[in-house]
Amino acid sequence: MAKVRVVIVDDESPARRKVRRFLASEEDFEIVGEAGTGLEAIQVIEQQRPDLVFLDVQMPGLDGFEALEALRPRPLPQVVFITAYDHFALKAFEVHALDYLLKPFDQPRFDRVLDHVRRQLRRGGEKERDETIEKLDRLLAELNQRPKYVERLLVNAGDKAFLLAVEQIDWIEAARNYVNLRVGEKSYLLRGTIEGLYQKLDPSKFIRANRSQIVNVESIKELHPWFHGEYRIILRDETEISWSRRYLDRSSNLFLKLG
């Protein structure tokens, strides 16, 4: 039986090495290419025509979904998505019965995905390929309907400027005509209003705690009940921020998830 031809796509080289390592003992799989960006992925996949692609969702520039949508010619290969934190995507993969690996994944989880891939490829008829393409097309159509939120902000640091990934921001505070982005022990000023910036951020990852502060959910260590149904947010660096009832009500779905 011919080996399953594999392409690995991830912008982080340690992640690509991990997939290579997990595949090393699998005699029925052969790695025929790698890519570190969405554009490279399109080129490698179109050149190699693999049977299977391990595809990172979050990549700078062209992300995994955009690369997949741009692929020509069809049919598409079997795809296992790799993601770190896209909860919307995880739900979409489950709904459409598509394989995914949530970082950080281990060997047992990887092996279960491989077993499923083997079963899918063994079925391998025209009908099964058409079903896979339909699932991917439905997924892409669904993902295209979600709101687009900013992933990076251009900030100044001394005489230089750089792109700051919003996931690195712990919390944000209004400062007159600016907002102060707190990243660990560092802070960066960005011109604009707290409301204007909040509208650009993914509400599943950032909460408006009060009139002048925004908090990254991943930076929250604890929530303490306070007066009048409000909360005190304790961040990982022990910063305390009040979560007012007015803004708590706006984030009720997220609050239920946290609680």
SS3 of 120-165: HHHHCCHHHHHHHHHHHHHHHHHHCCCCCCCCEEEEEECCEEEEEE
Same-domain status, 81 and 43 = yes
**CA-CA distance, 27 to 25, in Å (whole number)?**
6
Q: What is the pLDDT of residue 258?
A: 45
pTM reported for the whole predicted model: 0.56
**CA-CA distance, 251 to 205, in Å (whole number)?**
11
End-to-end Cα spacing for the chain: 51
Same-domain status, 162 and 129 = no
**Boundary (domain end) residue, out of 122, 143, 164:** 143
CATH number (domain holding residue 246): 2.40.50.1020
**CA-CA distance, 45 to 35, in Å (whole number)?**
9
Same-domain status, 134 and 8 = yes
Tens of pLDDT along 137-147?
Answer: 777 776 666 66
Same-domain status, 112 and 41 = yes
| Among 12-16, 99-103, 125-129, 137-141, the least confident range | 125-129
- Domains: count for the chain: 2
Same-domain status, 32 and 109 = yes
Same-domain status, 28 and 121 = yes
The dihedral of CA 14, 17, 22, 28: what is its sign? positive
Same-domain status, 45 and 123 = yes
The label of the residue with tokens 């990852």 reads 205
Same-domain status, 240 and 118 = no
Q: Which SS3 state, helix, strand or coil, does residue 52 take?
A: strand
The dihedral of CA 217, 209, 238, 160: what is its sign? positive
Tens of pLDDT along 26-39?
Answer: 999 999 999 998 88
Same-domain status, 161 and 206 = yes
How many CB atoms lie under 10 A from the CB of residue 199? Answer: 12
Residue type, 193: T
CATH number (domain holding residue 70): 3.40.50.2300
**CA-CA distance, 259 to 242, in Å (whole number)?**
16
**CA-CA distance, 107 to 255, in Å (whole number)?**
33
Q: Which residues of 207-226 are buried (b: 16+ CB within 10 A; e: fewer)?
A: bbbbeebbbbbebbeeeeee
**Boundary (domain end) residue, out of 85, 116, 143:** 143
Tens of pLDDT along 88-97?
Answer: 566 667 655 5
Same-domain status, 125 and 15 = yes
Q: What is the mean pLDDT of residues 168-187?
A: 94
**Boundary (domain end) residue, out of 121, 143, 165:** 143
Print the domain residue range for 249. 152-258
Same-domain status, 62 and 89 = yes
Contacts of 19 (CB under 8 A, 6+ apart): 8, 10, 54, 82, 110
Share of the chain above pLDDT 90, in %: 41
Same-domain status, 19 and 116 = yes
